[in-house]
Every structure is written in structure tokens, then in C-alpha cells.
Structure 1
Amino acid sequence: MTNLATNLLNTASKQPDATMIAMGGKHLPYGMMYQAAAKLAGDLRASGIEPGDRVALILPNVPAFPVTFFATLMAGGIVVPMNPLLKAGEIDFFFTNSGAKIAFVWPDFVEEVTKGAANSGTQVIPCDPMGPLAGHLASGEPITEPTERADDDTAIILYTSGTTGRPKGAELTHANIHLNATRCALDIAQITPDDVVMGCLPLFHVFGLVVGLQAAVIAGASLALIPRFDPADAIKTIANERVTVMLGVPTMYAAVLNHPDSDSLDASSLRTCCSGGSAMPHEVQRAFEEKFDAQILEGYGLSETSPVATFNLPGRPTKSGTIGMAIPGCELKIIDESGAALGPGEVGEIAIRGDNVMKGYWDNPQATAEAIPDGWFRTGDLATVDEDGYYTIVDRKKDMILRGGMNVYPREVEELIYTHPDVLEVAVVAVPDELLGENVGAAIVMRPGATTTIAEVQEWTKERIAAYKYPRRVWQVEELPKGPTGKVLRREVHAPTT
């Protein structure tokens, strides 16, 4: 391995006419996509992009994303994927912090991105579905052999969500991504050139970028893209493209499951479903598997771990409700506040070591040292491990509710509320309490046509969980705030002030 883009070259050389990207009824072959990336790589070099320079991608799931992604790598550059919905102030930070020289941008976002580029001087280049519009880059000879890079050279900088202060840019190396994507393709999803992978996760997110795009390219499979997740579009794509491997976060599986069109969906092509990003509610998993006769394998990872760290692996017993066991090349342990390892069944923080752990945070040695003080990356996630090495997430360390000295884990309460037949979605969060410091609150989305009241759901919950755990404040919302992958953002859930 010298450059991640070598994977595209290898697959395009073996099967140039095989479909790499399927979208909107069109099928784009590997050979054509590689040629487009090689030409753009030459144009980038002619425009002054040298090895190590940063190039931002602010694009939805369209073919232009893989073209610009692989072109940047082929020229030796570092890719900075960014959420297209960022505002000018956020864009300014990302551009200034990363030092991005160029940004490939979808037309809908050019105005906002241009405002955000005022301080950094980043060149904004609009793109159509296949790549950059003409006239913005110098013309150069195609770079047909990817620029030599070391395994430990940075390939991408992925900015974390910034739950505490400014976002930090996780530096993932060529080896980080190649090894993790290879294990996802071969050991977990067992993808072959005959497979069609569902590309409904955003490619600017590590899950979609590595487990979707990179794993598909390594295996020589097709990636069926949806520009932005919509359950109706997902259902059509599964049927029309005969999707065999679906990747998603729990809210995506729930949205497909609960959509009216799913009742007539022929999902017989589905072979493997993989879930990550947040904990899969047991009730959603049970109902999806029962309706579509397709098993969901749950895993776990973070931007800083490239991303996958654990999975319920094929060929081994699957334990529903767990995130599985450590994947090859990765070690996990449960630790206490002092860093000492804990035994089976004890709740502690997950620490990770392996070839999937990031190089560090971009231009932030202090944050790197805090996150990886002793070679083990501190995840901030609370979990237990059983005697067989299967891990179960209890909650985010920062999400835990401390109610009068008693620990309440939101996921446990959510799991119970999800089993109520009239509840569609729920987020359990801490609410201020003058006496106890924090108390338990729940924001609930009811199913359409539900007649059960919020008060009745609260009483139902109270009867089924320990007294200190049931939510004292419950309120109804039309929808829950979600991130780019559809993951519920607990930090943005707040109780009404009245």
C-alpha cells in the first residue's frame, strides 16, 4: 500500500466495464470513473496542488464525490470531506484550520461556501454531477499512476462533531483507511464483485466513505448512490438495483421499516445489513428482520478509528443488542477513570488500540495527547464486555444522567420506550433538577394516528423500570434533531421551558 487511490486503479484495471456507481438508472463503469479521476488529478497538479496539500469536498452523494476524492489522492493531496449544510462561520473554521487550497462544491452551496472562504482564500470550484465545471482549473496531463505516499501519510482529515468546543480534525492515514475498508469488505460484509452496496449514507461521513465507497472499490462491487437519504428513494433503489448489502444507521432502518411503500417492497435481494453510528433499538431490529427476512449485523466505530472497531462477525454467533467483538487488527478494553482494565460485566470506558486508530488530531498535539495518552484511544463511550468478548454499549460517557448520585443510562430507558406500540422515536436526556442536580427527560415522536397520550406513555414506562430511571419530564415533538447520517443528536434535544 502506497496510496489509497491504488485500489481504484487495481479494480479499474481488472474490470473496467463493471459498474462502479449506479444512480438514477445510470450505471457508470470503473474504467470511466478512473479516467475521470486521473484527468482531474493532472488538472489539480497543473493548478498548483502538491503532495500534502488539502482539498475540501462539499458535495452530496453524486459521482463527482468519488471522482474528486480519488483525483485528490492521485495527485498526492489530502481530502477534507465536509457536510454541505455547514454555514459560513463553520466553513471558515474548517478552511482556516485545515489550510484547504481548493474546495469542490455543489452549486446549491457555492454562495455560503464563498462567504466562508473569505478569510482562508480557499478557491471555490463548482461541480456538476460528474465533476468540476470547466474553466476553474488549469489543464494538465492525466496522472495515471497514483502519487507515491507512505502508509502513515495522512489521506483524509475528518472533523469530529465538536460536542466539546471546536471540532477537531482526525487525521486518517492511507493505511488506516485501506486496512479498515478491506476488513469491512472481506471479513464483515463479505462483499464480492457481484454485490450492489446501498450508498444512502453520506460520503462525507466516515461510515459512508470507508465502509461504503472504499470497501466497494476494494471488492469491485457497485455502489448505488442516493444524493440524500429519503426512505422512499431507498426503497426504490433496493428494488430497482437489487441491492444486496445495505449500510445504515438505526434511524434509516426505522424510516424504511415504517414507510408505507415498504409493505410492497421486494427485499429478497438483501443479503447483509450493517448498522452503526448509534445503538440499534432492539424493537427496530426485530421488526426489520421479521418484515424483510434480512439479518442486521451491528457494529461500532468512530471517526478516530477509521471507523470500524467492532462487529458481529459472520460465521460467529450473533448477539443481538451487542456491538460484537473487536475486528482483526484492533484491540479493545474496558477501563475505569484511572485507566485500569475492568472485568466482564463491569461498566467502564471503551479504549481502543490498533492499526485503525488515527494518526492524531490535525495541528492539535494537546488534544491528541489527551485522547491517546498511552497508545490507547479513549472513546468516551461506556460499555461492558462479556466472557466471550462481545461488547455492549451502555451510553456515551457525556450523555449519562447523574440523578441524585444514581447513574441513569439514556439508552436503557430508550430501549424500553421503543417497545411501546405508539412510539415512533424517542430521545432520553438530562433535564435540570434543583434538588437532584439532574433528572430524566424524554422527547417522544408518536406514530401517525396514535391515540395514546404522552402522560400515558410516561405512566406505562414508570410501571416497567426502576423508580429512579423513569422520565419525570416527557414531551412530544414532531421530529428529533438528527445529524448528517440520521443519528439522533441528544445534545440538541431540550425540554420545553414551560
Structure 2
Amino acid sequence: MTNLAMNLVNTTELHADRPAIRLGDAVLNYGQFEQATQLVAALFHKHGVGPGDRVALMLPNVPHFALLYYGALRIGAVVVPMNPLLKEREVSYHLSDSGAKLLFVWTGFDQAGEAGAALAGAEAIVVDPATWPGLLAGLAPVAEVIDSAAGDTAVILYTSGTTGKPKGAELTHANIARNVEICADELIFLTEEDVLFGGLPLFHVFGQTASLNASVYAGACLTLLPKFDPQGALETVQRDRVTVFEGVPTMFTVLASYPDRESYDTTSLRVCVSGGAALPVEVLGAFEAAYTCIVLEGYGLSETSPVVAINRLDQRRAGSIGLPVSGVDVRIVDESSVDVAVGDIGELIVRGHNVMKAYWGKPEETEKAIPDGWFRTGDLAKHDEDGFLYIVDRKKDLIIRSGYNVYPREVEEVLYEHPAVAEAAVIGFPHAEFGDEIAAVVALKPGSEVAASELREFVKERLAAYKYPRVVEIVAALPKGATGKILKREITLTTV
């Protein structure tokens, strides 16, 4: 049986009494985890959810995310994970586009969740620890696991190009299951004795595959941290004797320079994994020196389940994203799809068991991304004589702030909604703490007046907190090319 939920069933048979998920002092063992997902499956059935139906989860890193995730997979439903910071209009778009009939939203985020669900004509259920037992009371556990086919969609992860609205990458049960096996068995060698740091967002592909699903597959324990901060992370590592730390570069940057780091016992760490953005070589060196633990940098995307390449414990090079994982082929090609020479720069393209099924409901976008079986990443890369890969530049215009992808077009569209704005361009600039920071450069309509701070607040009210521009500059005109297209590369910020 291919259904990803079988990993939980199989692990429970072997390790029912071992800790599965921890949040602070609260611990759920595998037997309790499995029993809870059977009740959650019944809850989905109660609300009319069946195989192929989409259900959305808008929760932070709490055990309930895992229960809902595996409960949905168990009955053959498709999970649509969503950032709990999304605002009403964003929630509505995700639900409408995916056709999700049901949204589970964590308490505290329910205002935007319920409002967005109402706009999309979906039902919203607020998840609150106080009322959660009542939702499951009186339900008959669903022990059966639907026999999903390998090519059936398990998860729809929303991602964007630099144009248009977010697209839903359909990842199949086989896509994720194989990537999980590779993470656990070939890259970080997980066993039931391991404790994984759960600070990566579970709604994101990195946290889902390498943290939640990999730990379930191996019978390891995932200790959750709902919101990352260095003190909380170090306290978690010390308290729970974390052995595997997975994070984005900003986490490693903050921890490497955290002044009180020597007050914590982090000797349990055996390996760290970095992804989500490029890890500066100096940060890698500083972190390894501070914590005496190897950091393996890797590379992946939502569309590739996500792991494409990674450094290995016995094969690694600073500044590289490592070597392709088993069963995944990569090429670096020029604009004619001809392979470039060693050391030359081209686009990284990927083929293998990890490549998504399609963009949900967007056949033309799918054909553009995978015209010949090779997925076009849009990332510029090079390789050395030993096959190690190096990312040279990111997708055009993409901003990665604290590990979150911010797509300028989405922010620009909101700016254009302001009645005073004539033109807008959103760009990123380097930031020591966040990796990238967001700036908006705006030209106003004739006779209009508006303060930069007002424009910043205008966007802040309409988009998730990590997306709004911290810097807004108002200019007379934006630089343009012969066709009238705004030339972002010619924009110079004056206040940073």
C-alpha cells in the first residue's frame, strides 16, 4: 500500500510506547498518535470528506497539525497546508483555488481563517486545545487506511512564480514517501533513538518531509517549537537531547552568534541540516565551531518534494548544495537546453521520483515547468568536476526572508490597489538577520500625496507579516526599458 499514512501504522506496530511528538512537557507516544488520527479520520467523515477531497490546515507547529495531516491522508483526502499568518484574502484564494471544502484553523488565527473560508464558501473549524476533545467525542475510530495509488495526490503545496498568483504543487504519496525514505535512511540515518528539532514550519515542504514525515517513518521523536527564537531553540535542544537540528540559514546565523549559547548543553547534536536558502560559508563555519556539529546544506523546492541534492556526512563542500540524491537526475543547461561545461553557469533542471505531478488545475503552467520530463527550477547553478552543485543565483526577483518565499508580484499587486500609486516595484536587499529584506519603490499618480509609512501599513493590513515591505521609497519615476517594462536591476535604494 502506497498511502503515506501507512508509515504511522507500521511505526506504531513497532514502537507504540515510544515518544512521537513533543511540545514542551506534553508528549504523545506513537500509540496515542495513531489512535488520535483514527478519531480525526472519523471527524473528517462526519463533515463529508472522502478520498480526493481537499482539506486545508492553517496551524502553527502544534501536535494537532500532525493529527489532522495523518487523519486526512488515512481516508485518502488531499492536505492543503497553509501558513497561519495568511490574511483573509489569501485564505480565500487558497481555499477557492484548491476547492478545499473544509479548513481547520488554529485558535488565535481564526478571524482571518473564518473570514477567508466564508468568502470561499468553505467550512471553518477552529482548533483550540480546550475544545479539541469535544470535537472527537463520541466518534468511532476509523482503523482502515485507504489504499491510495502511488500517483494519487497527497498534498497540494502553494508556491508562486514571479508572475501571477500562487500555484498549487501536487505532490503524490509516492513523491513524498520516497523523499522521506531518502532523508531518513540515506542522508541523516534516522533511528527510533533520534530526537528531531521541530522548528521548521510544518506547513512548509521542508518541515513536512524532513521533520514530521521522516520522524514518523523512522519512529523518532519530533519536538516542536511553534515560533523560533534562539533561547527557545537552545532550551529545546538541551531539555529534549535533540540529535538532529534542521533549519533555515537565518536560524543558523542567529544561533552562531547568540551570546548566551555556551550556557546550554548542546552536546546531544550529531547532525544539522540547512535548506530553504543559500547558507553563507562564514555562517556554516561559525556555527560548526560554536556547536561542534556538522551542518549539511541541501537544496530543494516545493515542486520536488523537496530534496534534490544535499551534502553527505562523508562527502561535503562548503558553499555547495552537495550531490543529487538517489533516483534524482540533474542537469545544468543553457537557454537551448544544452548541457553547459563544468564550471559554467546555467539553469538547474531536475528529473526523478521527487518531481511533482502537476500544478493543480493549471495544465499550461505545468507544461511550461516540465516540458519534457525535466522540471525547470529557474535557479542558476554550476557544478564542479566531481559533480558538486553550487547555486549561483535564485529565481529572478524571488525574495527569501527568514526562509519564507516572498514573491514581488503579489506585493506589487497590493500596492497597485492604493489609489495614490501609479507604479510599484518590489525588490529584496541583503539583511544580516533575515537573509533578505523587502523594499518597495513607488511612483505616485499626478497630484497624489501619501506617506511611505501609510503605504507600508496598507500592505501590512492585507498580506502576511513576513511579506510587507519594511522599506518604502517614493520616487518621481521608475527606470524602464524600451518596451516600458520596469527595470528592477537599475533601481537603487537611497535609505539602505
Shorter-normalised TM range: 0.7 to 0.9
- Whether the 8 Å contact between 1:127 and 1:133 is mirrored in structure 2 is no
1:461 aligns with none
Q: How does 1:38-187 map to 2 (within 5 A)?
A: 38-129=38-129, 132=132, 134-135=134-135, 140-187=139-186
> Distance between the aligned counterparts of 2:174 and 2:345, measured in 1?
32
Counterpart CA distance in 1 for 2:131 and 2:306 is 27
C-alpha spacing 1:328/1:83, structure 2 compared with 1 (3 Å): same
Question: Does the residue aligned with 1:169 lie in a helix, a strand or coil?
Answer: strand
- What letter is aligned with 1:323? I
Match 2:377 to one of 376, 379, 389: 379
RMSD of Structure 2 on Structure 1 (CA): 2.7
Q: Secondary structure of 1:193's match?
A: coil
Give secondary structure in 2 for the equivalent of 1:202.
coil
Alpha-carbon distance, 1:120 to partner: 2.2
User: 394, 397, 405: which one pairs with 1:396?
Assistant: 394
Q: Which amino acid aligns with 2:148?
A: R
Specify the alignment match of 1:211 in structure 2. 210
> Any idea what the Cα deviations from partners look like across 1:407-437, whole Å, max 9, x if unmatched?
xxx99xxxxxxxxxxxxxxxxx9xxxxxxxx
Correspondence for 1:348? 346
Q: Determine helix, strand or coil for the equivalent of 1:287.
A: helix
Equivalent pairs: percent with the same residue? 48
Residue in structure 2 matched with residue 463 of structure 1 by the alignment = none
Post-superposition shift, 1:13?
Answer: 1.1
From the superposition, tell whether residues 444 and 303 of structure 1 become closer, same or farther in structure 2 (CA, over 3 Å).
Answer: closer
Residue 12 of structure 1: aligned partner: 12
Secondary structure of 2:299's partner?
strand
Deviation of 1:274 (Å): 0.4
Counterpart CA distance in 1 for 2:303 and 2:431 is: 31
How many matched pairs? 424
* Deviation (angstroms), 1:131: 8.5
Secondary structure at the counterpart of residue 119 of structure 1: helix
Contact 2:195 2:223 (C-alpha < 8 Å) held by counterparts: yes
| Partner Cα distance (1:77, 1:197) in 2 | 27
Partner residue of 2:330 out of 332, 337, 355: 332
The alpha carbon displacement at 1:130 in A equals: 8.9
**Which residue among 317, 320, 324 is the counterpart of 1:319?**
317
User: Is contact 2:250–2:433 with CA below 8 Å preserved after alignment?
Assistant: no
CA distance in 1, matches of 2:470, 2:162: 13
Instruction: Quickly say closer, same or farther: Cα 1:442–1:27, change in 2 above 3 A.
Output: closer
Partner Cα separation in structure 1 for residue 24 and residue 390 of structure 2: 39
2:189 partner SS: coil
Query: Which runs of 5 or more residues in structure 2 are unaligned?
Result: 401-407, 409-424, 435-465, 475-493
Tell me, in whole angstroms, the C-alpha distance in 2 between the residues paired with 1:342 and 1:171: 30
CA 1:148 to 1:445, structure 2 compared with 1: closer, same or farther past 3 Å? closer
Q: 1:363 to 1:17 in 2, by over 3 A?
A: same
Q: CA deviation at 1:22?
A: 1.5
Structure 2 counterpart of 1:357 = 355
- Cα deviation for residue 133 of structure 1 reads 5.8
Task: Provide the C-alpha distance between the structure 2 equivalents of 1:231 and 1:249, rounded to a whole number of angstroms.
Answer: 13
1:313-362 deviations in Å (ceiling 9; x for gaps): 233x2111100010001000001112111121110000000000000100
Query: Following TM superposition, by how much is the alpha carbon of 1:271 offset from its aligned partner in structure 2, in angstroms?
Result: 0.2
What is aligned with 1:294? 293
Aligned to 2:254: 255
1:29 and 2:29 are equivalent in the alignment: yes
8 Å contact 1:92–1:116 — kept in the other structure? yes
Q: Does the 8 Å contact 1:67/1:130 carry over to 2?
A: no
Partner Cα separation in structure 1 for residue 359 and residue 319 of structure 2: 31
- State the AA in 2 paired with 1:58: M
CA deviations over 1:356-389 (Å, ceiling 9, x no partner): 0000100000100000011000001100011111
TM-score normalised by the chain length of structure 1: 0.80
8 Å Cα contact 2:331/2:349 also seen in 1: yes
Structure 2 distance, partners of 1:234, 1:248, is 11
Aligned 8 A contact 1:43 1:139 in 2: no
Cα contact 1:62–1:130 (8 A) shared by 2 = no
Asked if the contact 1:43/1:138 (under 8 Å) is kept, the reply is no
Q: Report the alpha carbon displacement of residue 111 of structure 1 after superposing the two structures with TM.
A: 1.1
**In structure 1, the residue corresponding to 2:237 is in which secondary structure?**
helix
Task: Specify the SS of the correspondent of 1:178.
Answer: helix
Offset, 1:209: 0.5
Tell me the distance in 1 between the aligned counterparts of 2:428 and 2:94: 34
- Deviations along 1:138-174, one digit per CA (max 9) or x if unpaired, are 9643221211110000000000045321000000000
Partner residue of 1:458?
A: none
Q: How does 1:276-295 map to 2 (within 5 A)?
A: 276-295=275-294
Distance in 2 (CA, whole Å) between partners of 1:201 and 1:446 is 17
1:269 is displaced (CA, Å) by 0.5
Measured against aligned partners, the alpha-carbon deviations of 1:389-415 in whole angstroms (never above 9, x if no partner) come to 100000114149xxxxxxxxx99xxxx
- Quick check: 2:238–2:265 contact (8 Å CA) kept in 1? yes
TM-score (norm 2): 0.81
| Residue 43 of structure 1: how far off its partner (Å) | 2.2
- Once residues 244 and 442 of structure 1 are traced to their aligned partners in structure 2, the CA distance between those partners, rounded to angstroms, is 34
> Amino acid of the residue matched to residue 77 of structure 2?
G
Q: Distance in 2 between matches of 1:268 and 1:392?
A: 30
Q: Distance in 2 between matches of 1:276 and 1:443?
A: 18
Q: Work out whether residues 199 and 212 of structure 1, in 8 Å CA contact, stay in contact via their aligned partners in 2.
A: yes
- Shift of the 130–326 alpha-carbon distance from structure 1 to 2, 3 Å rule, reads farther
Q: Distance in 2 between matches of 1:297 and 1:12?
A: 29
Superposed, which structure 2 residues align to 1:434-449 within 5 Å?
443-445=430-432
Shift of 1:190: 0.8
CA distance in 2, matches of 1:87, 1:209: 22
Query: SS where residue 108 of structure 1 aligns?
Result: coil
Moved more, 334-343 or 203-212: 334-343
| Change in 2 beyond 3 A, CA 1:279/1:445 | closer
Which runs of 5 or more residues in structure 1 are unaligned?
A: 401-409, 412-428, 430-437, 448-487
SS of aligned partner of 1:198: strand
CA deviation vs aligned residue, 1:427-456 (integer Å, no higher than 9, x gap): xx9xxxxxxxx9x99555599xxxxxxxxx
Q: 1:446 to 1:110 in 2, by over 3 A?
A: closer
In 2 relative to 1, CA 132–51 (structure 1 residues): closer, same or farther, beyond 3 Å? farther
For 2:362, the aligned partner's letter is N
With over 3 angstroms needed to count, the CA separation of the structure-2 counterparts of 1:120 and 1:442, relative to structure 1, is closer
